[in-house]
Structure 1
Amino acid sequence: MDAGLLFVLIFFCWLENPTTAISLQIDTSISQRTTASLGLVGDAADVNTTTVAGTVLIGGGEDVDQAFQWMIKKAGGGDFVVLRASGTDAYNSYIYELGPINSVETLLIDSRTLANDPQVEKTILNAEAIFIAGGDQANYVNFWKDTKVHHALDYLRNVKQIPVGGTSAGCAILGGTYFGALQGTVTSPEALNNPYISLVTLGHKDFLNQPYLSDVVTDSHFDNRDRHGRLITFLARMSHDHGILARGIGLDESTAVCIEPNGIGKIYGSGSAYFLTQNGIDGTPERCEDGFPLDWYRNEKAVIVYKIQATIDGAHIFDVSTWAYGTGGNHLYYYVRDGVLYKTAY
């Protein structure tokens, strides 16, 4: 491509929501690698391959090889870029050895200056797969939101149609509603005891835009750190604050949900994935107020949960386009009385 400025003036993201328009300006004259790069393995020359879109949610802990292989296949052998705000380039060799890929590069983007750097933007826009590492999601919100990185990520997933994934903190920011951890983490007892405690910092439809996840909040390390109660609290806030049919995906460590373009999520790994949905648009919390414990029981059927055991071959699935079909799992009801979470058989 000739040197100069390539203007991608307007693109439209057709999701389940109203159309989103984003304007991008890409400087194609940049030739050197960005200062944010922690290193690259493979061929540094850019390639263009045919890609297939998808979204990967990983619950932290040990990485799930099959999820990265799923992304590599959808990347068509192109360039794989890892984004983070802290940490090392450890993913480079790990991903590169999992399958045929042109290159793997890690970018450390730990400031808004870097997040608006044209070199960083170009490296991201040239990617055929993007993975957001774990760490502290507050850094991603503070450093990346409303920057070139933010808009490039939306462009890649919704227009260029590449696979985008994240683990732990990187998974947390992929939902339309997200726990930003801007005041630090919050435990289940803290959230259930007061849904509006200052630690519950929820963003809503103002960051990354992933198909099928518009009204979904994600959480990782789910059973490992007993986060069931806080995810229920996040759903209660979504329902109460925004009047939506609130949904959530909780992921155990070493567990991945790989969402195909048609909305079918394949469950890989060794733990469980939990798909939670408010039991009807009118099934709002009985009490979701600042300074009071959460009450959300609705005849002890407030939230419908479908728990799926992951497998190495991704044999079990859940349809996040309809939330009406899954395999390999079992149903539960979750409800809350006076800040205490209860679980009953479906």
Structure 2
Amino acid sequence: MRTKLLILLFPLFSFCQGYTSYFTGNPINVTTSPSFGVCLMGGASESDEAMTWLLQKANGGDVLVLRSSGSNGYNNYLYSQLGVAVNSVETLVVTSEAGATNSYVLDKIANAELIWFAGGDQFNYLSFFKNNAAEVALNNHVNIKNAPIGGTSAGMAILGEYYFSAQNGSVTSAQALANPYATNITIGGNDFLEIPYLQHTITDTHYDNPDRKGRQTTFLARLTQILNQRSFGVAANEYVAICIESDGKAYVYGDYPNYQEFAYFLQTNCNSVFPENMTPNTSLTWNNNGQAVKVYKVAGTTAGSNYFDLSNWQSGSGGTWENWSVINGTLATVPGFPVECSLSTEKFTAENTIIFPLPFNDYLIIQTNERSQISIYDLQGRKMAQLTSEVEAKIQTTDWSSGVYLVKIQHEGKVVFKKIIKN
């Protein structure tokens, strides 16, 4: 059994070189085989369960905390308080691009088995680590070394392919919705980190304090213009963590139902991508029949059992679908249905398909004179029934909960949807 040498060093001050080091653990570097993982946290105190998940990905190696202010608050927490053995934890407080590209800092990034970005100011991270050797080293860590990475607050804000840079300060939901081209809405991307499953995605944090749904909806509207296509968003309430596995499933940690702690996965509707009115100094209108943005809302639990699948942006477990829309700067969020993109470009009428009784109780009868594939989903996106019908089919629904369901009818590669209600 390896004997670990515990060393607590005074901070190494290197003001002239743009960084300060705080070190805990074994000063002799070890090389382990880490495994992929991305952890996004909402900005308040860390989720111990999510941090444990992330530390385990390091496989006993060296942990590097990057920050642009503060000191060594993570060191003992990550090294000894979570019960996961690691070789060392080092915090580097980087205060300039010179610090980020210092040979010592680059060496620490290259040899880390886990990298964590603390909260602070995301514009500092972008100013110090982007378009230089540090950016290359960070992307190598994720995509070549296949090692875990994560961040909270500002540290989460920089992990999407696109980001709100905060170059001109923060922006509220009210300000963003009132003027989507306000000078403090500074969006960049496709020029920094390349994190798997977060392509065409912009993140947001502190989602419940203050409410940031409106501003991220505006970010997505702007992003559709930048990309000229659909855009995506990932967001977390303050005490929520989102942990992405190698298969793309994003598991959500929190303390629901004791607290209202949720993660949100946003995407532009497949059928109508672009806002109806997005001009400078004018309130945003992005309605598209009340379904401009499709959102999967997931409660975070201590076990992290609920998830959304970022490999397809369609399926999940333990969440509910919502439709978000904006009219004249006012955001509306209402219950919605699962997103359907693969067959959304071509539809057909379903006049020859009859569904009764409506509302229904213990059974449904579906009649059609065409051979159709029929699927029924609940509001959480779970498939309740699937069948092929040519004349008539009867579905037992005694065990289904009361509420709204979505019927998808496919015929010759075309699709139509119908809403039905169970008493």
Q: What TM-score do you get using the length of structure 2 for normalisation?
A: 0.73
Unaligned runs of 5+ in 1: 1-32
The secondary structure found in structure 1 opposite 2:280 is: coil
Q: What is the identity, as a one-letter code, of the residue corresponding to 2:127?
A: N
The secondary structure found in structure 1 opposite 2:134 is: helix
Report the Cα offset of residue 281 of structure 1: 6.0
Structure whose alpha-carbon radius of gyration is higher:
2
User: The residue matched to 2:144 in structure 1 has which SS?
Assistant: helix
Match of 1:56 in 2: 39
Structure 2 residue 320 is matched with structure 1 residue 330: yes
Which residue of the other structure, out of 160, 176, 195, is the alignment partner of 1:191?
176
SS of 1:90's partner is coil
Q: Is the partner of 1:267 in helix, strand or coil?
A: strand
Amino acid of the residue matched to residue 51 of structure 1?
A: P
CA–CA distance in structure 1, aligned partners of residues 13 and 313 of structure 2: 41
Post-superposition shift, 1:282?
Answer: 3.6
The 8 Å contact of residues 115 and 143 in structure 1, kept in 2 or not, is answered as yes
Residue 307 of structure 1, aligned match among 282, 297, 300: 297
Where in structure 2 are the equivalents of 1:54-203 lying within 5 Å?
Answer: 54-97=37-80, 98=82, 99-203=84-188
Q: Which runs of 5 or more structure 2 residues have no equivalent in the other structure?
A: 1-11, 256-260, 337-423
Q: Count how many residue pairs are aligned between Structure 1 and Structure 2.
A: 314
2:286 alignment counterpart = 296
Q: 1:168 Cα deviation (Å)? A: 0.2
Preserved contact between residue 117 and residue 148 of structure 1 (Cα < 8 Å):
no
Instruction: Trace 1:18-33 onto structure 2 (pairs within 5 A).
Output: none
Counterpart in the other structure of 2:254:
269
- 1:200 aligns to what SS in structure 2? coil
Aligned residue number for residue 11 of structure 1: none
Residue 21 of structure 2 aligns with an amino acid whose one-letter code is L
Q: Following the alignment from structure 1 to structure 2, what is the Cα–Cα distance between the partners of residues 64 and 282?
A: 37
* 1:193-216 deviations in Å (ceiling 9; x for gaps): 111111000012111110010111
1:228 maps to which residue? 213
8 Å CA contact 1:273–1:308 kept in 2: the answer is: yes
Structure 1 residue ranges (4+ consecutive) displaced by more than 4 angstroms after TM superposition = none
Give the distance between the partners of 1:189 and 1:217, measured in 2 at CA.
19
Deviation at 1:37, TM superposition (A): 4.0
Q: Secondary structure at the match of 1:149?
A: helix
Q: What letter corresponds to residue 49 of structure 1 in structure 2?
A: T
Aligned equivalents of 1:67, 1:147: Cα separation in 2: 30
Match of 1:42 in 2: 25
In 1, distance between residues paired with 2:244 and 2:218?
A: 25
* 1:251 has 2:222 as partner: no
Percent pairwise identity: 42
Alignment RMSD (CA, Å): 1.2
CA distance in structure 2 between the partners assigned to 1:190 and 1:335 by the alignment: 16
1:319 aligned partner: 309
Scaled by the length of structure 1, the TM-score of the pair is 0.89
Q: Does structure 2 conserve the Cα–Cα contact (< 8 Å) formed by 1:336 and 1:342?
A: yes
> 2:286–2:327: 8 Å Cα contact kept in structure 1?
yes
Give the number of the structure with larger relative contact order, counting CA–CA contacts within 8 Å between residues 6 or more apart.
1
- Give the aligned partner of residue 20 of structure 1: none
Q: CA deviation at 1:218?
A: 0.4
Given that 1:80 and 1:130 are in contact with CA atoms closer than 8 Å, whether structure 2 keeps it comes out as yes
